[in-house]
Structure 1
Amino acid sequence: MKIKNSILILAVAVLVFSCATNPFTGKKTMALVSNAELFPTAFAQYDQFLTESKVITGTADAKMITRVGERIAVAAERWLTANGYHGYLNDYKWEYNLVDDKTVNAWCMPGGKIVFYTGILPIAKSETGVAAIMGHEVAHALANHGQQRMSAGMLQQFGAVAGNIAIQDDKARDAFNQYYGVGSQVGVMLPFSRNHETEADKIGLYLMAIAGYNPSEAAELWKRMKANSGSGEAPPEILSTHPSNDSRIANLTALAPTAVEEAKKFGVTQFRE
């Protein structure tokens, strides 16, 4: 009993003293790993990735990626400053690179290091489509989703260890180990990831709109993403790290007018085509 109580007290202490406020949602989020620890590692991994990849520079597409990224970063700075988070981005080191790769993907590492693959450009179709993707990926970094995923993974491991220590009966311990991994993944980790994607969609819409890009294009982008995914049957949403394409399109469509209103607060009333 003493062991169980100690584990419970430790778990509560970890959750209470290792939380941070997400400026974009106002929610308390897990922060078991600080940005001071996370950013240098992310920067080093990014630099290593670039040395192993074919980075495209000087082309119209490469310049577009940088231009859109800089506008999204300025939009983020404006939003954060207006909402009382001046200096939030001081430790971010923005960098934008286009990599020659057929993979349909783009990503932003913690701290603002961004990569677009050439394979996603035909689906982006336009600068506004690139802005929709850029806003979403930057939103993951701004909302510290990488930090939260690492923290959640650490808690998942902690729960497994704690369960094995607390459960004395061998059969009960075996049953716990059998079901804990699947249960924590489907019941906690996957919904956690899907929620991050939905948060990034909303934040990304705001950022692209404040940057002067039409947020209605985000839903159109995901219609093209859906078409590109082919006719194969997608896994059930409950078993996926991402919302379904249809859920995403519906959500982005519903949120676009809100993003337009948010942009008006910053004097943005017309959008680039």
Structure 2
Amino acid sequence: MKRVIAIFILVLLLDACSKVPITGRSRLSAVSHEEIMPLVNEQYDSVINEGKVLTNTADGRKVVEVGSRISKAVENFLVQEGYGDIVDEFDWEFNLLESEQINAWCMPGGKVAFYTGILPITKNETGIAVVMGHEIAHAVASHSQERMSNGMAANLGLSIFSAAMGQNPTMMQQLLLQSVGIGSQLGMLKFSRKHELEADELGLLFMAMAGYDPREAPVFWERMSAAGGEAPPEFLSTHPGPDRRIERLNANMKKAMEYYEQAK
């Protein structure tokens, strides 16, 4: 009986797996786009409505401009590479919120938020592109869905999303917010570090595809490291150390520069 159950669980896991574009990493995908978007829209609108939105300011318009430019380049690339089904899932939205937090995040479907606290570190349009490419990469790689899938497996077994919502809607809301970096990261740390490095790699390529110089990415992370002092910013609190990130970015720089030269 135990063997039958184990085989059944294995089949469910294999059926719920998909691959990340470009990196080819297998991921657990027990949460579909159609299932999660009503919750995403509700939670994103709640954050926006409760915060002070500065999207119509000069800084806010720059965030939108950079986000639109990178997302368009990424969509064109994904369509060319045969990932048109992923592109159909995006409904990009970019907002700048007033907050001292040095942070930015992206919900499934391309719902991005920047906090004003990170702008002194981005410094310019290319610096914004470093962060934006990273956040767009989270959406393309479906990191939130993967973290939620792992969270569901840990807390509710292999429940389907609709059943999990029925069992514990508050937990599902918390899992979503945690999966994008809002609230406690407990229980998702081991997944977070892997995803952040993958988002760094993809984000480096994405900013280059849009014509932003990828060589500025390691420079940004040097500034981010210096800004932390003894207490790291929220953007780094559960993430790999800056030295490791910079090393990985430089290892992928040759590939990124090829995209950059093509985009110029």
Which of 27, 41, 51 is 1:53 aligned to?
A: 51
Matches within 5 A, 1:79-228: 79-157=77-155, 190-228=189-227
Which of 240, 247, 250 is 2:247 aligned to?
A: 250
TM-score for the superposition, normalised by structure 2: 0.82
Residue of structure 2 equivalent to 1:39: 37
In percent, how many aligned pairs have the same letter? 47
Q: Are the equivalent residues in 2 in contact too, given 1:139–1:200 (CA < 8 A)?
A: yes
How far apart in 1 are the matches of 2:231 and 2:61?
35
SS in 2 for 1:116: strand
How far apart in 1 are the matches of 2:21 and 2:140?
9
Unaligned runs of 5+ in 2: 159-186
Shift, 1:202, TM fit: 0.6
Shift, 1:145, TM fit: 0.4
SS in 1 for 2:72: helix
1:178-216 deviation line (CA, Å, top 9, x unaligned): xxxxxxxxxx95443211111100100011001111111
1:142-195 deviation line (CA, Å, top 9, x unaligned): 1000111111122234679xxxxxxxxxxxxxxxxxxxxxxxxxxx95443211
How far apart in 2 are the matches of 1:87 and 1:144?
13
Counterpart amino acid of 2:58? Answer: A
* Structure 1 runs of 4+ with >6 Å offset: none
Shift, 1:260, TM fit: 0.9
SS in 2 for 1:88: helix
Which of 243, 257, 262 is 2:259 aligned to?
A: 262
How far apart in 1 are the matches of 2:241 and 2:213?
23
How far apart in 2 are the matches of 1:226 and 1:22?
28
How far apart in 1 are the matches of 2:202 and 2:251?
14
Q: Are the equivalent residues in 2 in contact too, given 1:110–1:146 (CA < 8 A)?
A: yes
How far apart in 2 are the matches of 1:257 and 1:99?
34
Which of 2, 7, 10 is 2:8 aligned to?
A: 10
Shift, 1:12, TM fit: 0.5
How far apart in 2 are the matches of 1:208 and 1:144?
18
How many residues align? The count is: 234
1:213-242 deviation line (CA, Å, top 9, x unaligned): 1111111111011001103599xx9xx742
